[in-house]
Structure 1
Amino acid sequence: MLYRALLLIISAALLSGGAFAADDEADYGHIAGKVLTTDGKPVAAVSVVLKDTRKMTVTGDDGRFSLKHIRSGNYELEASYLGHDRQVQTVTVSGGATTEVTITLNISSVNLKEFTVTDNRNPYKETAPSNSLRLNGLLIEQPQNIQVVTGRVLADQQITSMNDGIARNVSGVTRLEHWGDLYARLNMRGSRASAFRNGMNITSTWGPLTEDMSVVDHVEFVKGPAGFLMSNGEPSGIYNIVTKKPTGVTKGEATLMTGSYDLYRGTLDLDGKLTKNGKLLYRLNLMGQMKNSNRAYEFNKRYSIAPVLTYKFSDRTSLTLEYLFQHVNMFDAGSFYVFHPDGYAKLPRNFTTAEPGIDPTIIDDHSVQLNFQHSFNPAWKLTVQGAYTDYKQEGSTMWPIAVNPDATMIRGVGIWDAINRAEFGQAFLNGEFHTGAVQHKILTGIDVGNKHYLADWSQTIPLDSNNAFFDLNNPKYGSPVMGLPKFDRSKSLKERAGSNIVDQFYTGLYVQDELGFFDNALRLTLAGRFTYVQENSYGTKTYDNRFTPRIGLSYSIDKSMSVYALYDVSFLPQSGILENKDEKVKPVTGNNIEAGVKKDWMGGRWNTSLSAYRIIKNNELTPGPANSNFSVQLGQTKTEGVEFDLRGEIVKGLSLVANYAYTDSRISRASETAAVGSKKGDVVPGYAKHNANAWLHYKLEKGLLKGFGISAGFSYQADRTTWSWGGTGQDPMPSYFRLDGGLFWQKDRISVNANVFNILDEYLYSGAAYASYYYWQAEPGRNMRLSVGYKF
């Protein structure tokens, strides 16, 4: 009944727009405009406010903005760009008409580049989501916890990939395992966060390949289900990588980085116009990197090439073509693991079970994306995009064949060749209209995806034997008794993969109406999505479809503060091998109820958000406590938590990211076939109950030391669970604390940044108990990075 009611309400709102508005719309008009420099270049991220009203917005990359449904009359339009004087312009709004406005800031494009170089723009806070999130409005107005990690944060913390410390910047996000920087497994709210790139769900079983930060503009984290993006996923939420696009301003940046363990890295970012009229724009990012490890024999060499072209047919229509190629040459993906029968951290931090001479893992990852945007008028915009990804891997992974009670073992090296291909297509329409005094923000669209993953794990070759074990307490390297592994690749990968294939095809149709009352101070979101999923996973075929509703409520107490509540639903087809092989694996169904408050401070320089949530999941799979080769299907789990985030420029020169999350995830109803270790009240693996982080960045703005600054940050986790079930009576994970800090200097076009990580030189690790032994992955001890950048 709820589903039908929602559909009827949304349909009525869509169909009745013209009928109810005819008498009143003649009294209302729109403002559409652009903000330019003194020499005619567009300026992004300018705050535009219609004074004495609640109307406000932010300019896009093209400098354009729009304000809709304004009663006829004379107004003052105020444009502000951090670090510059506010510009106020008088505008007259006429009923039934759109008033075109051009605002000129007292800054040239040359000075704009200098302005970007000196980083006077708010570096740690975003006001609006990217177009790829599809939401038409400011972040403070959304009935959901959405956090944005800006490009400046990524640069200040010297983050080089999605595996490299980004989790510290968002409440409750933790990284599980390392996987040799192959892919980022990020968890939040008790389960895996789905990976998106430019609004497309590229999540796969062992992917995607972790993005290098040289191509990333910023990263958006959406907490909880996000029906406007997908419904066939974990209810914990998603992270969305937003790649760099042409800005229309000719500029460039080159950066060199060096650091501990023979890290050498160089990046080049070029941005500009290919035609004098500015219709054809380009962006080119290049990266090359090589580094070793605190453990012997491990290395990781990467390079990436990312050209982007944008053609602007007009101010209303654009077409963008992106290509990204990433190449990886690295040591065996599993060599990070260390094993011992007696507990965690029983071996030195730099201990390794790896052998020199093992063939490297080679990965080539291609992706192409085409994005078309057309604004019919200031109120309606169509976006159509498609993408193709092609990932090929040839390599291996290490895992023990046996770990003995006397701390000896037989090391095994298994083949890991894989192909990961996917095609995506999307079309969505954003629009606004009014029925009387009620504002409607419409989002409707279609998503289609086709994913294909296959892998060969069929060959495992021992390095040691029962007569010549590898001794963990007295290791010897260089001449394993069984020799180095040589795999048989005479057959095609498809033939070798057998049933190790995961295919997924899905189609999603959705419609959302955000109804605004009392001059849009109160916003009610009603939405529904129908998703069909067909999956063939490891030889098991599943078909499923669901209608998933979404209801949100948001109220702006004033322009700087809002409160919200949300109910959202998701489902996730899944596959696995149960101990009772005749038992069918059911899809995960989940729902999220949350409420929160958002507040902008000091005129929007920094903001805070506080949310509380409860997620119910049914039929979740998790590795079995007795044998992780089999899965356990839980009856129901409940995850509850509180999250707090602070980000922005607290005072001039002082920027801060700080967060805290309390998370508790437990089995709330055991299944009838629940195994030992999966009864009601048991903890669900994969999170830390207490998770706190902070990163402070302070730059001197005046005096002889102008441009110098200091950074400092910490990460803390307590009551950590392992990433899979621990055995009965085995040790828990200890608490985690890491302290980082550094110095930097910026002057004109030059920047120097040096950071020291794990200043206290703590033995930090994550891991789990497995059968009769423990395994863990240790982070490096105290280490440093130094980067020098030049902008031109």
Structure 2
Amino acid sequence: MPRENKTHSFKRSTIALLLQASLATGAVMSMQATHAAEPAAAEAKTYAIAAGPLGAALSTFATQAGVLLSFDPVATQGKTTSGLNGTYRLREGFEVLLQGSGLAVRQESDGSYSLTIAQEPKASAENTLPEVRVKASREVNMSSAMTEGTGSYTIGSMRTATKMDLSIRETPQSVSVITRQRMDDQAMYTLNDVVKNTVGLTVSKWGDERPQFNSRGFQLNNLMIDGLPIFYEEAALSTGLLSQYDRVEIVRGASGLMEGVGSPGGSINLVRKRPTREFQSSLTVGAGSWDNYIASLDVSGPLNEQGTLRGRSVVSYQDKNSFQDYRENKRTLLYSILEADITTATTLSLGASYSKEDNPGANWVGMVTYPNGSFLPISRSHSMSPSWTHWDKESKTVFAEVNHSFSNEWKAKVAATYVESQMDMLGVSFSRSSDDLVYGVGSYNYDITQKSVDGMVSGPFSLMGREHELVFGVSHRVKKDDWTGSWPSGYSFILNPLDANSASSAPYPILQTPNPYANKVEVEQSSIYTSGRFNFRDDLKLIVGGRLDWYENTQNIRSGTWLNNVNYKTTRQFTPYAGLVYDLNDTYAAYVSLTRIFAPQDYQQPGGGLIDPREGTNYELGIKGEHFGGRLNTSLALFQIDLENLPTQLDVSQCAQEQTSCYTTTGKVRSRGIELEVSGEIATRWQMGAGYTYNYAENLEPSSYSQIGTGSMGKRYGTNLPLNIFKMYTTYRLPGEFDNWKIGGGIQTQSNIYTQYGVKQGGYTLVDLHAGYTFNKNIDLSLNINNLLDKRYYSGILSTASGNFFGDPRNFMLTMRYRF
């Protein structure tokens, strides 16, 4: 592999991206002018808009009428409409929808429309009050920021990066959101689907059911659910089908202010659906390639006459085969939540979810290659695992949340969750003996519990004649792992990797009892944190904060006759955060941010003991734009991450005699890159989520061992992740008499990847198509065709004996949604 000119490569890519950003900015300004120039529709049209939430109905009406309507979602929160059925002119339609809401529309100078408070008729002109524009404050309650029903690919505000309710433009870090509408349009059913379609993120695998999420060259090892962090355990944790979530928010770059310890790559926040104040229900059914069937029932609404008690339940089930032999997925989800207004200022939420995944035929380690790393001439349906393998997961979650608003605009929130996960697997791995490929068989059972609680207060304060915002909080979380493992004694089977029927001949193993492997792990983290947003000038904001963490990791390991007890502990570990945002004008803001990284690790050194924690610094600067009243967000970011002590797996010959794996550190790694993203409504009826990422990571200091798989000093780090990634998905609702139709599609392209084992995957491009048809206010149908050109590719690679996985061939999904 020739040595790459890293500096020149980075400079060329940076210049190219700045040119692309300039073109994109020009395009956005052009589209903005197009928006402004669009005349209000004066002709009468026929509408069939169902009764229900006012905000969703207004958005639907504006889209079908071909006009731009801007409003804060909080202004319509809790308000309903009787719907619109018949032929109406624009003003007439607005009046019918807004009847009894206390709101009215106003046409702006650019031809767009906005909501105002309706005026009461007065007896004389002298007594007429001037019109008051609606400007509602955002609420702490997560239900005030739901994307459901908005039809949008972006969001007004999020808390995932700073614990403050800020718009994307106001947040001094790279953030993305996959909304409910986009999940529905792209037929995303799992978290894997979301990550694969998120700007800058990639999915790699240890096995069929062990996905790893990567950002900016590093693995993400934390998740948040409704902003509450939990440890991500890819082997056992089931996040369930996406039907229980309103959206997924993503932070790229270190999020130490939210989590204390974690990956420098970023964090993923899954935001649950919440009960609605009006009754609504829907049934979704789908059928697709490889006998992929899915059904979901979602019911929500008030449970008493006053609406102070509300509930929501979601039931989903998926049963699908695979393009690979023997492979199946069966997923079950049950989700329920109750929300009660204890007082006018206090809301209590209680909920639970259950997720079960049965995965017969799951491949433990992936496909093998020839010893020189070249791919085998085999069909994508070829399975190297016998049908008796499996990887089953089950997770049970209970959670509670209390929100309280004080009279001085301060708010308090306490949230807690308990997650219990189990995993049961039986699988095969591969090793080479002379020219033979020999099966290794293992069975493991994981029992993992997690407890997490977080309490915070936030609110405004005045200083030097200006209003600022503060957040104070405490958190505590505990994870307990109980792992056991077994393998057969004297098991022998030689696989012919070129024979599609060879794996089916493997005999079922008889495992050792009692289990020769056991591992008990307890991780405990306690934290206090604070952050402030200081309003120096109308156009200049500083966000500064930090947290102290007390962290302890205890492990008790038995592997055959080898015993090892490990403990790592740190106290008052400080993680700072700072971000500065400067408004260039009403549309664009420039920002810069930095934060420290601290991530203790549970990887064992040869002979025992834990390797040192990862430490480093995350730098970022960029420009963000908020267009069309927040309906479109754009961003351009440059980032650098300096990180020490990354884990590197050693050859098993370097481990202690009974150790199944051991690790060392990689010295120092630097990751640099550039990101460009566009999300939201780029023109009337036209939604888009798109972005480009260039990321180059290199070893700055050598480790004491050669780095397996990805190069050593002076070469790229993480060569099995692409340098360049472009992702785009878009939908457009046709105008006029064809407005029942929505069409769209997507493109994903990435550059080549490789490893030191000689395994290489060339760059590739995937094309997807989407078409949707709305029959009436209750029923719509959509068709998704993925990998339209049937590109043959590997979605991930690693070594000659593991980590190589075929990407999905061409496939389709037909989905019907019925609202009643």
Which TM class, normalised by the smaller chain length?
Answer: 0.7 to 0.9
Q: Tell me the amino acid that sits aligned with residue 738 of structure 1.
A: L
Provide the C-alpha distance between the structure 1 equivalents of 2:448 and 2:154, rounded to a whole number of angstroms.
35
Task: From the superposition, tell whether residues 79 and 317 of structure 1 become closer, same or farther in structure 2 (CA, over 3 Å).
Answer: farther
Taking structure 2 as the reference length, what is the TM-score of the superposition? 0.78
Deviations 1:483-506, CA, capped at 9 Å, x for gaps: 212435x65xxx7652x2332100
Q: Provide the aligned C-alpha RMSD in A.
A: 3.3
Instruction: Name which of 450, 457, 477 aligns with 1:449.
Output: 477
State whether residues 540 and 575 of structure 1, in contact with CA within 8 Å, keep that contact through their aligned partners in structure 2. Answer: no
Specify the alignment match of 1:650 in structure 2.
682
Q: Aligned equivalents of 1:332 and 1:201: distance in 2?
A: 32
2:612 equivalent to 1:612:
no
Q: Compared with structure 1, are the counterparts of its residues 416 and 137 closer, same or farther at alpha carbon in structure 2 (3 Å cutoff)? A: same
**Counterparts in 2 of 1:583 and 1:359: CA distance versus 1, 3 Å:** closer
- The equivalent residue for 1:532 is 550
Distance of 1:156 and 1:777 partners within structure 2: 26
> Are 1:260 and 2:289 counterparts?
yes
Deviations 1:208-258 (A, max 9, x none): 324311111100001212233112111111010001111212101101011
Aligned residue in 2 for 1:34: none
Q: Which position in structure 2 is the counterpart of 1:523?
A: 541
2:174 aligns with 145
| Contact persistence 2:389–2:428 (CA under 8 A) | no
Query: What's the CA shift string for 1:620-676, capped at 9, x where partnerless?
Result: 112237879332301111000101110111112211111000001111112355568
Looking at structure 2, the residues matched to 128 and 185 of structure 1 have their Cα atoms a distance apart, in angstroms, of 28
The question of whether the paired residues in 2 share the 8 Å contact of 1:198 and 1:242 is answered with yes
* Structure 1 residues 764 and 399: alpha-carbon distance in aligned structure 2, compared to 1, 3 A threshold: same
Deviation at 1:269, TM superposition (A): 0.8
Counterpart Cα distance in 2 of 1:737 and 1:632: 36
Distance 1:78 1:240, change over 3 A: farther
Structure 1 position 758, deviation (Å): 1.0
Q: Distance in 2 between the 1:553 and 1:58 partners? A: 27
- Deviation at 1:572? 0.6
**Superposition pairs of residues 572-591 of structure 1, within 5 angstroms:** 572-579=599-606, 581=607, 585-591=611-617
For residues 288-687 of structure 1, what are the structure 2 equivalents within 5 Å?
A: 288-334=317-363, 337-341=366-370, 342=372, 343-356=374-387, 358=388, 360-377=390-407, 379-400=409-430, 402-403=431-432, 406=435, 408-460=436-488, 464-465=492-493, 469-477=494-502, 480=505, 483-487=507-511, 497-498=517-518, 500-519=519-538, 521-537=539-555, 538=557, 539-545=565-571, 546-579=573-606, 581=607, 585-624=611-650, 629-672=661-704, 679-685=712-718, 687=721
Runs of at least 5 residues in structure 2 that lack an aligned partner in the other structure: 1-50, 60-70, 80-102, 121-131, 137-146, 558-564, 654-659
Contact kept, 8 Å, 2:652 with 2:661, in 1: the verdict is no
1:213 counterpart (235, 242, 247) = 242
Distance 2:243 2:542 in 1: 39
Residue type of the alignment partner of 2:533: E
Match of 2:156 in 1: 127
The aligned amino acid for 1:487 is L
- C-alpha deviations, 1:288-316, integer Å up to 9, x for none? 11001111111111111001100012332
What is the letter of the counterpart of residue 429 of structure 2? W
Q: How do residues 32-43 of structure 1 correspond to structure 2 at under 5 angstroms?
A: none
Q: Which amino acid aligns with 1:454?
A: D
Aligned 8 A contact 2:276 2:302 in 1: no
C-alpha distance 409-525 of structure 1, shift in aligned 2 (>3 A): same
Aligned residue in 2 for 1:24: none
- Residues 169, 657 of structure 1: 8 Å contact kept: no
- What is the identity, as a one-letter code, of the residue corresponding to 2:731? H
Question: In 2, distance between residues paired with 1:261 and 1:159?
Answer: 16
The one-letter amino acid paired with 2:692 is Y
* Partner deviation per Cα, 1:721-767 (whole Å, 9 max, x = no partner): 55xxx33xx14332132111121112322111111111111112134
Separation of aligned partners in 1, 2:750 and 2:106 = 40
Using the alignment, how far apart are the partners of 1:667 and 1:350 within structure 2? 38
1:86 to 115, 135, 147: 115
Residues 138 and 46 from structure 1, CA distance in 2 versus in 1: closer, same or farther, beyond 3 angstroms? farther
Q: 1:255 to 1:773 in 2, by over 3 A?
A: closer
Work out whether residues 639 and 672 of structure 2, in 8 Å CA contact, stay in contact via their aligned partners in 1: yes
Residue among 738, 742, 745 paired with 2:766 = 738
What is the letter of the counterpart of residue 386 of structure 2?
Answer: E
Structure 1 segments unaligned to the other structure (5+ residues): 1-38, 48-55, 65-76, 92-100, 106-115
Give 1:415 deviation, angstroms.
0.3
Letter in 1 for 2:302: K
- 1:86-128 Cα distance to aligned partner (Å, 9 max, x none): 225699xxxxxxxxx99799xxxxxxxxxx99x6x34111010
CA distance in 2, matches of 1:169, 1:299: 23
Task: Say whether residues 1:225 and 2:249 are aligned partners.
Answer: no
Change (3 A) 1:502 1:332: farther
Q: 2:104 and 2:712 mapped to 1: Cα distance?
A: 60
Question: Which of 225, 238, 243 is matched with 2:267 structurally?
Answer: 238
Provide the C-alpha distance between the structure 1 equivalents of 2:335 and 2:668, rounded to a whole number of angstroms: 44
Distance in 2 of aligned mates of 1:473 and 1:59? 60
Cross-structure match for 2:141: none
Q: Percent same amino acid among aligned pairs? A: 22
Is the 2:667–2:703 Cα contact (8 Å) retained in structure 1? Answer: yes
1:11 — aligned with what? none
* 1:658-717, Cα deviation, whole Å (9 max, x unpaired): 1000001111112355568753222222521101010011111311x2211212111111
**What is the letter of the counterpart of residue 586 of structure 1?**
D
In structure 1, distance between residues paired with 2:644 and 2:75:
41
8 Å CA contact 1:593, 1:614 repeated in 2: yes
Q: Do the aligned partners of 2:376 and 2:498 also contact (CA within 8 Å) in 1?
A: no
Deviation at 1:549, TM superposition (A): 1.0
Shift of 1:318: 0.3
Q: Which stretch shifts more, 688-697 or 331-340?
A: 331-340
- The letter of the residue matching 1:668 is L
Q: Runs in 1 of length 4+ with deviation above 6 angstroms?
A: 39-42, 44-47, 77-84, 101-105, 625-628
Q: SS in structure 2 opposite 1:603?
A: helix
How far apart, in 1, do the equivalents of 2:760 and 2:502 lie? 31
1:674–1:196 Cα change, 3 Å: same
Q: Does 1:718 align with 2:765?
A: no
SS of match in other structure, 2:304: coil
Match of 2:741 in 1: 708
Contact residue 480 and residue 523 of structure 2 kept, 8 A: yes
Q: Is the 8 A contact 1:715 1:738 kept in 2?
A: yes
* CA–CA separation in structure 1 for the residues paired with 2:254 and 2:58: 30
Shift of 1:267: 0.4
**In structure 2, C-alpha distance between the alignment counterparts of 1:456 and 1:699, rounded to whole Å:** 53
- Taking the aligned partners of 1:60 and 1:617, their CA distance within structure 2 comes to 45
Match of 2:722 in 1: 688
Task: Answer yes or no: is the 8 Å Cα contact 2:495–2:503 preserved in 1.
Answer: no
Residue in 2 aligned with 1:94? Answer: none
Q: CA deviation at 1:774?
A: 6.2
Where 1:688 maps in the other structure, the secondary structure is: coil
